[in-house]
Amino acid sequence: MPKRVVLAYSGGLDTSVAVRWMAEEMGVEVVALAVDLGQGGDWPAIRERALKAGAVEVVVADAREEFARDFVAPAIRANALYEGRYPLVSSLSRPVIAKHLVAAAREYGASAVAHGCTGKGNDQVRFEVSVRALAPDLDVVAPVRSWGFTREDAIEYARQHGIPVSATKASPYSVDQNLWGRTVECGVLEDPWETPPEDVYELTLRRDVEARELVVGFESGLPVSVDGRALALEHLVPELDQVVGPYGFGRVDMVENRRVGIKSREIYECPGALALLMAHADLEGLTLERDVAHEKARLEPRWAELVYDGLWYSPLKTALDAFMAETQRHVSGEVRLRCQPGGCFVAGRRSPTGLYEHDLATYTDADRFRHQDAEGFVRIFGLSVETWARVQGVGS
Ligand code: ARG
């Protein structure tokens, strides 16, 4: 049995009950670790709650910059969308939290770390595989998986133990949030046929906003400015949320395949993330050479799948990162986004390293394409098909 455990603490009902439950049922000292990933937590209140729940120590780590730089940035380079749609909000955050869990375990002399995930989700996989990669000597404890409480049991346990939890104002949903977006599950959403009620949304509530344009600047594959104003990524994404969210842009409603074999209905709100991914992919259209672009497009879904599956710290994902990074050297320039009620789309792009050559593409007299070369090229390109058709016949 470990003596000291560092728990990934969100301040919610489950992790608050987990503090006391581990202390009582397992007889361990619990260090609560809250990680700021831009979810906008009330940190003093969260600290207070962890102490009331019985934590011997509370650590709040501000990991916003690190999260943006080391986790969100590679996702942008890889145009990462799981099953073509989900920008990996929670999937990206677990490996960074795992890193901080391990660091805190070392600092506070703990021999185990803990998380508040259930047995049905992806997040347990991401935490545990990450911790095993980073610190195979540490045990991982998952109280929520073993205690068998219903939500009502947990609320009752908290009440009996004087743990202040806001679960009384009971959101019917399970929400996870960080600077890359917001995820919502459970409640009425469990029926995939049901239209999501408006109250699931926070970042994409439509407001009465005028149509507008904005220009996102990129350097080597990463967004660095909005309308010419330089911004660090951890500030740029929330700023973009504010701009494009009110147009109702950034919603995803999907049934996805969890790693544990369950299909689940998910609502995502990622206005800034989806605008950036759209802009980034578009700029690649201008700046990546054809074969590189096509090969990259094949590898992107694999990158997203690995990260979704909890394999952030894995050799294949590391190798793919190196490939992605190499492709991004000349992905620099500007993308003009147009926002109007109902959406946000790319209206234009330009780049000093763009491969678009007007005098090759044009049908005007500025043309410098050698038309006569096309004849031989097309004849030889089609030679094998021609041979096949002559000898074996089309459709015979
Ligand atoms: N389905 C998404 C994923 O697996 C979101 C998970 C949200 N996690 C949560 N604990 N509410 O990445």
Q: CA–CA distance from 193 to each of 84, 187, 253, 268 (Å)?
A: 20, 13, 11, 16
Report strand pairing: 229-230 vs 251-257: unpaired
Number of helical (H) and strand (E) elements in the chain, helices listed first: 15, 14
Does ligand 1 come within 6 angstroms of the Cβ of 174?
yes
Q: CA–CA distance from 46 to each of 20, 56, 345, 373 (Å)?
A: 15, 14, 39, 70
Give the domain ranges of the chain: 4-172, 176-350, 367-391
For residue 88, the ligand 1 atom closest to its alpha carbon is 12
Does ligand 1 come within 6 angstroms of the Cβ of 185?
yes
Phi, psi of 43 (to 5 degrees): -65, -45
CA 145 – CA 117 distance, rounded (Å): 7
Closest by CA to 164, choosing from 30, 54, 52, 58, is 52
Q: Is 225 labeled as catalytic in the residue annotation?
A: no
Residue 168 confidence (pLDDT)? 46
Ligand 1 centroid – CA 345 distance (Å): 27
Tens digit of pLDDT at every position of the chain (396 positions): 789 999 999 999 999 999 999 999 999 999 999 999 999 999 999 999 999 999 999 999 999 999 999 999 999 999 999 999 999 999 999 999 999 999 999 999 999 999 999 999 999 999 999 999 999 999 999 999 999 999 899 999 999 999 987 754 567 899 999 999 999 999 999 999 999 999 999 999 999 999 999 999 999 999 999 999 999 999 999 999 999 999 999 999 999 999 999 999 999 999 999 999 999 999 999 999 999 999 999 999 999 999 999 999 999 999 999 999 999 999 999 999 999 987 999 999 999 999 999 989 988 888 889 999 999 999 999 999 999 999 998 776
Contacts of 304 (CB under 8 A, 6+ apart): 78, 80, 81, 82, 83, 88
Residue 164 confidence (pLDDT)? 86
Q: Topology of 176-350 in CATH?
A: Argininosuccinate synthetase, chain A, domain 2 (3.90.1260)
Token match 């890193």: residue? 99
Ligand 1 centroid – CA 89 distance (Å): 8
Rg (CA), the chain: 25
Give the CATH class of 4-172: alpha beta
pTM passes above 0.75: yes
Residue 273 Cα to chain centre, angstroms: 8
Q: Is 16 labeled as catalytic in the residue annotation?
A: no
CA 176 – CA 14 distance, rounded (Å): 13
Phi, psi of 365 (to 5 degrees): -80, 5
Contacts of 36 (CB under 8 A, 6+ apart): 43, 60, 61, 62, 63, 64
Q: Is 227 labeled as catalytic in the residue annotation?
A: no
Q: Is 265 labeled as catalytic in the residue annotation?
A: no
Q: Which of 120, 123, 125 to mutate to test the pocket of ligand 1 (most atoms within 8 A of CB)?
A: 123
Question: What is the dihedral sign for C-alpha 304, 302, 126, 99?
Answer: negative
For residue 264, the ligand 1 atom closest to its alpha carbon is 1
